[in-house]
Chains A and B, each alone.
Chain A
Amino acid sequence: MAFLILDRLTFTTGDWGLCASLRVGRGECAALIGASGAGKSTLLSLIAGFETPDSGAILVDNQDIGSLAPAQRPVTMMFQEHNLFAHLSLYDNIALGCHPGLNLAPADHETINQALEATQLGDISRRRPAGVSGGERQRAALARCLCQKRPLLLLDEPFANLDPRLRQQMHALVDELRQTHALTVIVVSHLPHEAARIADQMVFMHEGQITEQGSASITLADPQSQELRDYLQFTPSG
């Protein structure tokens, strides 16, 4: 049984439209790939509740979440930039995942410390975002996602600005956290071969449509559509 189901989801803005159906199993990782403007980030925004679909349904664990506000959805999301508040320490940024007013119970501190340990941020948790590296900032954002304890994690190219070695480490960390915290992950990436290291399935979007999807390794090794072949021709092999 699929954990996330997008059932004939449609969305239009201006003369651009999106139409997508997708199923992702519990604990799986799906990588969304495609050229800029294909609709990958918009699809994540629809799942997170930042945009309202024209029609269709979004089901998580058999529950329709389409009418819920972003805070009520069992979803957490990481962006490419601006994931942290610059005036708060990493610890406080992470703590916002436990309580949006920072009114923390003793159990919350325990949760935060576990998240800090899982993301290896313990020593620098009192620093502010400006005082740490890009990778550490993204690890802190990931730690906050863990504190939110929501089963569906959406990653909108959060590691795009990191160097290749750091990106690989972050992917490995996401994969580890996915397994230890039973997360279902959807990651948007412009580097399909890197994403394939952690993704179970690869979803290719083209002009607002999902045109191809399947097992990550098979999809990349044997693309069926001309659009995906063209797209892969210009991406690094990883």
Chain B
Amino acid sequence: MDKSLAVCIVTLSRMWAYRVISLWPGTLAVAFLGTLIGGSLVGIMARFGTGDLTAIVTDAYLHSVISFTLWQATLSTLISVGLALPIARAYARQSHFVGRRALITLMGLPMVMPVIVAVLGIVAIYGHNGVITQLMRAAGFTWSFGIYGLGGILLAHVFFNLPLAVRLLLPAWEQVPGESWRLASTLGMSSTQLFRFIEWPALSAFLPGALVIVFLLCFTSFAVVLTLGGGPGATTVEVAIYQALRFDFDPGRATLLALTQLALCATIALTMSRWLRSQPLTQGLQKGLRNRPDRNALLNRAVDVLLITLSALFIGLPIAAVVVAGLEGPLLRVILDSALWSATARSLGIALIATLTASVLALGLAMTARRLVLVQRRPGATDLVLLAGSVSLAVPPMVIGTGLFLWALITGTTEVVTLFLIALINALMVLPYALRSIAPVLIDSGRRHHKLCEQLGLQGWQRFRRIDWPAIRKPTAFAVALGSALSFGDMGVAALFDTSGAITLPVMLYHRMSAYRFDEAAVTALVLVVMSMILFWALDRIVGRWLS
């Protein structure tokens, strides 16, 4: 009896151990994330010590910063998504015209464009001496748009997030089964009725997610607020952390602000996490889009053309301004400067390490999530693993950066570990994008092929190479390309660690803008944007075709 009990216990222990060991990729990834974020938070708490948390309630400056952060994020979100709705509808309604694909690609450019570069372009078009103001002056109008302050911040946020929201909302129309459009055309539905009965129900599944993503991006926006705001009346929590550390050298205040930002972001991300999940796909007759009854009405076509043209100009003009200003600047002098290429090499190194780290973490988490849902049948645990990958939405990179920066200060290793830490924090920033691209496809591939792979004994590397990689190759390539472009152009954490002479390319551009060396800044911006595009294009193609 005792022997059989022992055998039973040993067998159960082995089964339990196997269940745990088989989850090693995700376990390692979670451990890594936990160490990095935990270490950073310990750094913050150690510095804060027995600090006065009541300051969060009593500090008037902190109140004004929090209010402004929430106010600008709310306004930016409402304007961006509010404008994106009719523009996305125009693109969906006019589903076949020459140049549509090029215009949608143009909508994707702000996503990979370094923020600091875009700000330069926005100022060139909408600033005090920008093209629009000059045209208005020539027409006899004296009014000019106040680019510095809330107006400029909103404008820049709309520049970045309107196209993002359009791209987040457009799939809603692709989800509508073709039969619905056909049905609507036999019923004789008007444009308003189409919106009410077909488009709004489809959009309602996508709209909350788009609102949450845009809100979180605007809430944690750094470079835009630093360059176009930053005064006492236009400072966000992230910028206030930077100012406390870099200008006032007040780690105590920076810690208080970082804790505040952590609490706000965690609350927002946790309460809104259910809207951040990707939407399920429904199948129908996709070709039925052509049967949309209101697409050829003259008024609708005119409205659509107007909306598409205005949005393309709004996005395209600042980008064009960056290119023109760069080409007109002291091109040779800046390009022949070795400091520019040293900064470029640093940024490139950061981008590649960050992307590689984020991809490995995303793959580990996605593989474990797949095993949990398909083999161990634990969907709740799957959600938790996937949520771990989005931790940087709740614990913003600036907060993690503050913690690690404080550690580096305490240990006196700032100059040694700077680039490595920037790369790791950027990896956390990129991880949610990579995970959202890879995980659904990997899990879907598992659903289709898991039993067959088990039957054939296809496991480990062979299964990954033969079955999984062909399925995830394209989304991985896009995630890697997007992540590297984002890291390459990121200024937030790099600016925080800007203590040694080892600056990155975006920080170099910021220095030149701050020093009013606009000619050099224009050329640096052009180099930055061209390098970002090359990086995006090259990685998308190299990874996308690897082992294809």
Contacts and interface: CB of A to CB of B under 8 A. Distances in A.
Q: Are both chains from one complex?
A: yes
Interface stretch (B176-184, B213-221, B322-330, B354-362): B176-184
Interface string B278-301: 000000110010010100000000
A162 interface: no
Interface stretch (B84-92, B98-106, B193-201, B537-545): B193-201
A73 B185 CA distance: 10
A48 B193 contact: no
B182 A79 contact: yes
Contacts of B291: 50, 70
B179 A69 contact: no
Contact of B197 (A69, A82, A85): A85
A interface, by DSSP: helix, strand, loop or mixed?
loop
Given A81-B177, A82-B177, A76 B186 contact: yes
Contacts of B189: 71, 100-101
Contacts of A77: 182, 186
Interface string A82-112: 1101111000000011001100000000000
Contacts of A81: 177, 179, 284
B187 A50 contact: no
A148 to B, nearest CB: 7
B193 A100 contact: yes
Given A81-B177, A83-B179, A71 B187 contact: yes
B546 to A, nearest CB: 33
Given A50-B291, A83-B179, A70 B201 contact: no
B190 interface: yes
Interface in A38-72: 48-50, 69-72
Given A50-B291, A70-B291, A70-B293, A85 B185 contact: no
A71 B184 CA distance: 8
A50 B293 CA distance: 10
A48 B186 contact: yes
B232 interface: no
B151 interface: no
A69 B293 contact: yes
A70 B182 contact: yes
Contacts of B198: 85
B290 to A, nearest CB: 8
Contacts of A88: 197
B51 interface: no
Contact of A79 (B179, B197, B293): B179
A97 B182 contact: no
> Could you tell me the dominant secondary structure of chain B's interface residues?
helix
B239 to A, nearest CB: 43
A100 B190 contact: yes
A148 B285 CA distance: 23
Interface in B452-474: none
B190 A82 contact: no
A75 B186 contact: yes
Contacts of A82: 177-180, 183, 284-285
Given A70-B291, A85-B201, A97-B187, A50 B182 contact: yes
Interface in A182-216: none
B186 A86 contact: no
A75 B186 CA distance: 8
Interface string B154-181: 0000000000000000000000011110
B186 A71 contact: yes
Contact of B180 (A72, A85, A100): A85
A77 B288 CA distance: 14
Contacts of A97: 187
A144 to B, nearest CB: 9
B453 to A, nearest CB: 30
B185 A71 contact: yes
Nearest to A70: B185
B188 interface: yes
A166 B473 CA distance: 45
B197 A96 contact: yes
Contacts of B284: 81-82
Contacts of B285: 79, 82
10 contacts: A69-B188, A69-B293, A71-B187, A72-B188, A77-B186, A81-B177, A82-B180, A85-B197, A87-B201, A96-B197
Interface of A: 48-50, 69-73, 75-77, 79, 81-83, 85-88, 96-97, 100-101, 148
Given A82-B285, A100-B188, A101-B190, 5 more contacts: A48-B186, A71-B185, A71-B188, A82-B178, A96-B197
5 shortest interchain CB distances as A-B pairs: A71-B188, A82-B179, A82-B177, A70-B185, A100-B189
